[in-house]
Amino acid sequence: MSALVEVSELRTWFDARQGGKRCVVKAVDGVSFAIHRGETLGLVGESGCGKSTAGRTLMRFHNPNGGRILFDGNDITSGDIKPYRSRMQMVFQDPYSSLDPRLAIRDIVAEPLNIQQPKLPAAERDAVVVENMRLVGMNSEALSRFPHEFSGGQRQRISIARALTTNADFLILDEPVSALDVSIQAQIINMLMDIQERSGITYLFIAHDLSVVRHISQRVLVMYLGRGMESAGTDELYAHPLHPYTQALLSAVPTPDPKISRKKQRIVLEGDVPSPINPPSGCVFRTRCRYAESRCADSVPEMRDAGGGHFVACHRYE
């Protein structure tokens, strides 16, 4: 299975000021991953770890400061992104602000087609809009209504229908269910999986909820303070986490069985996440790691293959 998206040593830094002095925020700092066709890669980590910035950089909403982005074998790190816009779409976290309140749903869903294929006949455009609304479980009666007339889950379905309008190969889903009720979350996730099974579309699923990521993803990449900590197949990562940060994250996932929950040992991380303006030297996780030693401060651990496609950035993972 070939990779549709390949990211190598991606860096996205922003200029900032601290105490009146100019400084740099290293939002994404040397992240690498690949996403195969028809696959879902889950990108997880605490708030502020850079996962949303990584997704926006793939879309070239932010221009990277370094590294390389390949889409279907083409280098899109710099230069004109417009030829690839119809094949890459993004669904944002907040369905309340991602839809224009002044437009009817018909115009919202048709907007990507109006931009990408302005000469498409109106009848064909309407047929695509109706079909995509059907894919997300909404009927044509909704097309004449406005965003404020719908619930949060319905609005997110409309956002997904809009993203699918150009027949995209790759969808970046930036915490698409975090603002929704749990029952609605399950409906949206199952719908996304059904669409993927029928169309073979590729997803980058960005989230902080590890339970949701486990359900939808085939592989997972864990980020912390702009860097990749661990990457593996979903079942392998959840069964055998190697990085101390991944172990701590998984220990916090609620378990429905009270007997298992009582036996489960919670790993509590001490301290706060350091500032991306002044990250720790060496391993960025070392200030909160219970296994940290002197070499963790001296050198940055590289992603190493622990076997079976399980990669970990830790000096002491053995």
pLDDT tens for the chain, 318 residues long, are 689 999 999 999 999 888 788 999 999 999 999 999 999 999 999 888 999 999 999 999 999 999 999 999 999 999 999 999 999 999 998 888 889 999 999 999 999 999 988 898 999 999 999 999 999 999 989 999 999 999 999 999 999 999 999 999 999 999 999 888 888 899 999 999 999 999 999 999 999 888 899 999 999 999 999 999 999 999 999 999 999 999 999 987 766 656 655 666 777 787 788 888 888 999 999 999 989 899 999 999 999 999 889 999 999 887
Q: Where are the domains of the chain?
A: 3-87+169-244
Class of domain 3-87+169-244: alpha beta
What sign does the dihedral 110-111-113-114 (CA atoms) show?
Answer: positive
Burial class of residue 254, CB neighbours in 10 A (0-12, 13-18, 19+): exposed
DSSP state of 52: H
